Structure 1
Amino acid sequence: MSKLNGPKEIALTFDDGPDQLWTPRVLDILAHYQVKATFFCVGQMVKYNPKILERIVKEGHVVGNHSWDHPDFTKIPLLAVQEQIERTSDQIEKVVGVRPRMVRPPYGAVNEEVIQLLAASDYEMILWDIDSWDWKGLTGPQVARNILGHVTPGAVVLQHSAGGTKDTLKGSMDALPYVIEVLSEQKYTFSTVSALFQLAAYRERTCPVEKRRRGR
């Protein structure tokens, strides 16, 4: 996934939100350091927390699709995979008026059929290069080590902005400012995934006539 021999850019990504506990804390930290990130959002979380999604977009971050309720795509029928993705995109579009093209399969679980489905539907599958393992309830120093010990230019970092118990992601929140400061000192810049890989983050809006033609 990473872009070797490019500028020292890195993409911070946050999965499983938006929620009302951790996502605002992530946004506060990113705003303090003026860093833009990519949030792979779960559809039912968007439904429950639309104002948080609005804040994500308003503050200049990019939104991707992380399924409706986080199933393993390789363990459900292909039609159900498509429904998971489209229902989530519908919900995101309803709240903030953009329809994501980037999909991160839950757990990174895909097979050949899922890959073909995403490609045929003009979705970009986005995985990661560096797993912070923050969802395991690690301490801040442990999360920071997991990230900083594996950084290369063009890497995509996986963290979470929701999920688990009330204390699960405390280590991730503790680590994030330190990670940003250390990487900044090392002359890294922070990018969204779409900017890093020069991808269109969202689908172009269709005109009402075309929507009717598609039966939408």
Structure 2
Amino acid sequence: METNTVQIIELLSLEARSASFYMTIGATRNEGRTECVLEIDEPTYIQLVAVNPSDGERIRLSLHPKWDPYRQIYYSMVIKVNGDFNETLYFTCSEFYMDQLKRLKEDDDTVYHPMEAARQPAVETSAAPKAKKQAARVWRRGPFALKLAIFTLLAAAVMMGMEGKLLSDTQHAMNPPVNAAELAVRQDNVDSSQEQAAPVAAANKKEPLQVSQTVLNASPESEERQLYERLRIDADKFTYGLPKGYVALTFDDGPSVYTKQIVDILTEEKVAASFLFVGKKAQQYPDAVAYADEQGMSIGNHSWDHTKLTAHNQKSYKTNIHKANKTLEATTKEPVTIFRPPYGAINAALAANVLDEDMKVLMWNRDPEDWKADKPEDILRYFHKVDPSGGIYVLHEKAATVEALPDIIQYLKDQQLTFIIFN
């Protein structure tokens, strides 16, 4: 490890003075923690204001912004931590911002500004209306500001309704998604105990799906409708979230001894989920794959062996994905059309290979981190803290999740949401 390497940066405040913009950060290095002020550009500042409204959370900034080759933008993320709950939100950023972080990591003290800057009146970011006022002031700053405001509005159109909850401090945090096709604006905590049926229904009023059809899996003699729809997702972008009024449960890393139990619970509740199966496990549990398929669940590819595909060459991951498809299709007798990369790690070359296999990339924007939960209450707590509308939840096949699943489904039903599975 290099001497005095920056390991963590925490956002303490944002400030705007005249035509300059600053963020005060706490930087944790090998040799201890220091506070300093960095200058940032106006577009990145406005993006941070949009995702930063805080209710006392600690706010960590990613040290590793990324390039989205599809949208042709740089993006990064903030992680809000409040007790045992955390959420990850995305924002677009500039090359200047990336260069400032690089100089910070290299311990270049010329990037710092005096701490007196941090003592100037800061732009308050504790509520969304204040962020809107700050954004509105941009219109009075001349031609550059006008261009920036237009950019911000276009970015907001892309980001609207999409919330980025990624895996955090474990193996699933190894590689956050490289594509930010559905950037997050913010993810509000919800106290469901204070919600009444009518306000919930109004808040979760459905937005139109682009392409969907109702799925009716009830027996011919039954007139009961299933409480879910099937959505054909786009091939030219990654799917991170859903419109308001919809929700999706997805299960990674199976099949397993728990697959049938999960499917039975879903079927009994007249909903469905999407299962992203690992090819190697599908070879071990072919009956579980067949059972999920027969009950109308959506079956997707989660690689052959859950390896980090972007760490391998193109020939290697092409073989990996194709082998998983062949194993799954041998059981379902249907083409596999959905792919989720292990750890969310994907790049342009891998995405192109997924398209070559006639599949589409399905990501997620809600992560209860059930894979590390010991008790069902730990999983349920997450569902009650976030707005589920528009969410694609990533879950895993384990005992605590099975135990929590009936309560999860009932909670989502109480929010007047329509369940979605994917084509």
TM-score (norm 1): 0.80
Partners of 2:388 and 2:412 within 8 A in 1? no
Q: What do the CA deviations read for 1:102-149 (whole angstroms, capped 9, x no partner)?
A: 100011111232223323443211111111211113321111122342
Which one has more relative contact order, counting CA pairs under 8 Å at least 6 apart? 1
Alignment partner, residue 32 of structure 1:
268
1:61 aligns with 2:297: yes
Q: What do the CA deviations read for 1:50-109 (whole angstroms, capped 9, x no partner)?
A: 111111011110100011111001111121111111111111111120121110001111
Q: Percent identity?
A: 29
Change (3 A) 1:147 1:73: farther
Change (3 A) 1:121 1:46: closer
Change (3 A) 1:51 1:128: same
Amino acid of the structure 1 residue aligned with 2:249:
L
- CA apart distance, 1:188: 1.3
1:14 aligns with 2:243: no
Match for residue 354 of structure 2 among 108, 112, 118: 118
Alignment partner, residue 212 of structure 1:
none
- Is the helix fraction higher in 1 or 2? 1
Alignment partner, residue 335 of structure 2:
99
Amino acid of the structure 2 residue aligned with 1:49:
Y
Q: How many residues align?
A: 184
Partners of 1:15 and 1:41 within 8 A in 2? yes
| SS of residue paired to 1:14 | strand
1:2 aligns with 2:241: yes
Match for residue 413 of structure 2 among 170, 184, 193: 184
Q: What do the CA deviations read for 1:26-64 (whole angstroms, capped 9, x no partner)?
A: 112112211111000111111111111111011110100
| SS of residue paired to 1:159 | strand
1:108 aligns with 2:344: yes
1:159 aligns with 2:388: no
Distance 1:75 1:133 in 2: 24
Distance 2:378 2:389 in 1: 21
Alignment partner, residue 171 of structure 1:
400
| SS of residue paired to 1:39 | strand
Amino acid of the structure 1 residue aligned with 2:307:
P
Gaps of 5+ in 1: 162-168, 195-200, 202-216
Alignment partner, residue 211 of structure 1:
none
Partners of 2:276 and 2:301 within 8 A in 1? yes
TM-score (norm 2): 0.42
Alignment partner, residue 84 of structure 1:
320
1:139 aligns with 2:379: no
| SS of residue paired to 2:254 | coil
Partners of 1:101 and 1:124 within 8 A in 2? yes
Greater than 4 Å deviation, 4+ residue runs? none
- Is the strand fraction higher in 1 or 2? 2
Alignment partner, residue 259 of structure 2:
23
Distance 2:260 2:242 in 1: 30
Q: What do the CA deviations read for 1:142-188 (whole angstroms, capped 9, x no partner)?
A: 11122342234331110012xxxxxxx22212221111111111111
Amino acid of the structure 1 residue aligned with 2:273:
A
1:129 aligns with 2:129: no
Alignment partner, residue 206 of structure 1:
none
Q: How does 1:42-57 map to 2 (within 5 A)?
A: 42-57=278-293
- CA apart distance, 1:24: 1.7
Partners of 1:148 and 1:179 within 8 A in 2? no
Amino acid of the structure 2 residue aligned with 1:191:
I
Partners of 1:40 and 1:63 within 8 A in 2? yes
Q: Calculate the aligned-residue CA RMSD, in Å.
A: 1.5
